[in-house]
Amino acid sequence: MKRFAIRCTQALVCAVTISLSYAQTPVFRPATDFTLVGKILPTLQVYHRVDTTQHPDMPPAVKRLVTNSTGLAIAFKTNSTTISAKWCTSSRKTLPNMTAIAYEGLDLYIKKDGRWQFAGIGRPNGDCTESTLVSNMAEGEKECLLYLPLYDETVSLEIGVEAGATIQPSPDPFRKRILMYGSSILQGASASRPGMAYPARLSRDTGLNFLNLGLSGSAKMEKAVADMIATVSADAFVLDCVPNSSPEEIRERTAYLVNTIRKHHPKVPILVIPRTVREHGAFDQKVGDGVKAQNEQIKQEVAKLLRSGVKDLYLLSYDKGLGNDHEGTVDGAHPNDLGFDRMLQELKPQFLSIFRKYHLLLD
């Protein structure tokens, strides 16, 4: 009887152990089973932004950059109390002005009281990582949005939930399509994590789908890129190219970009962010003069286009920039989250005011 009792106890311990370990081992599903948010154009590799074989004349740097998963997110619902992820990125190393979480990590938001709220990050550890994003959550269904790496190629992604938990695609939470074309700043340098890139913040704040065509160092308005952009289905275009374009490039290329978009999208608003900030330009006179020339040139080009009769074209005001304490960047050029917050305080009301005119808002 005693031996039987011991055996029973052993069996029970064993069963509990198996059950616990079973409960603790996530069951992974490919993220392609769920809803991909923020997609600009169809691609063969699902986490690329543009299919470069369709636009062979684009510069090599642009072709490389559109493989970055910037601005993409996965929408899903689950009743799991833990959410995990397994993902692989390319072998590229994080830039010194970014966190690895932003560069090649994940960022999870969950809907709470009707608003998207930060819930956890996927901390990268080399090129392939398995990481718990959040655990110990209450029972019940959660609507989730998982942002992908900003500056790396996402080679694969799986989402893990508890065994027995449900997980299914949820609808794209954002409506309409606002294509944003710009520099590293748009691509998310140097937000602290993927969900803090400024188009991602705008989408969560407004419910509109801001699509991120940030091309680090390469938003130079080349003809082939302008032709590609014009093929994108969008309800509005925002151009934030000043940081990467020389005054000459701005003079020579702005009209082609705007006119090409206009030709393919006769009525959509085109918004131009008219300025970039280089905080170190307060001391480095060459940088300061260069930025001043860029900022003046874009205003002249947009003014010319408006005079030539281009309609629905808007030069935004961006006078406050990143604030007046000069603390809004990581390196002079790239906003930190404080700089991005100030940038949005100035730009967001203008976006909303213009989009309201075009009936892009629900209210």
Q: How far apart are CA 360 and CA 354, in angstroms?
A: 9
Token pair belonging to 260? 């090409």
Q: How far apart are CA 151 and CA 97, in angstroms?
A: 12
Per-residue binder mask for a copy of itself (CB under 8 A), 87-106, x = binder: -------x-xxxxxx---x-
> Does residue 135 bind a copy of itself (CB under 8 A)?
yes
Residue 334: which residues within 8 A CB-CB, separation 6 or more?
97, 184, 185, 189, 190
> Does residue 64 bind a copy of itself (CB under 8 A)?
no
Decide whether 202 or 354 has the Cβ nearer to a copy of itself.
202
Per-residue binder mask for a copy of itself (CB under 8 A), 104-123, x = binder: -x----x-x----xxxxx-x
**Binding segment for a copy of itself among 41-49, 211-219, 249-257, 283-291 (CB under 8 A)?**
283-291
Q: Cβ of residue 268: shortest distance to a copy of itself, in angstroms? A: 30
298-357 residues near a copy of itself, rule: CB under 8 A: 326-332, 336-341
94 in Cβ contact with 104 (< 8 Å): yes
276 in Cβ contact with 243 (< 8 Å): yes
Q: Cβ of residue 124: shortest distance to a copy of itself, in angstroms? A: 6
- Measured over all CA atoms, what is the biggest interatomic distance in the chain, rounded to whole angstroms? 98
Decide whether 320 or 357 has the Cβ nearer to a copy of itself.
320
Q: How far apart are CA 224 and CA 260, in angstroms?
A: 11
> Does residue 162 bind a copy of itself (CB under 8 A)?
no
The amino acid present at 258, given as its one-letter code, is V
Decide whether 63 or 278 has the Cβ nearer to a copy of itself.
278
Q: How far apart are CA 339 and CA 329, in angstroms?
A: 6
Q: Footprint of a copy of itself on this chain (CB under 8 A)? A: 94, 96-101, 105, 110, 112, 117-121, 123-125, 134-138, 142, 190, 192-193, 196, 201, 279-280, 282-287, 326-332, 336-341
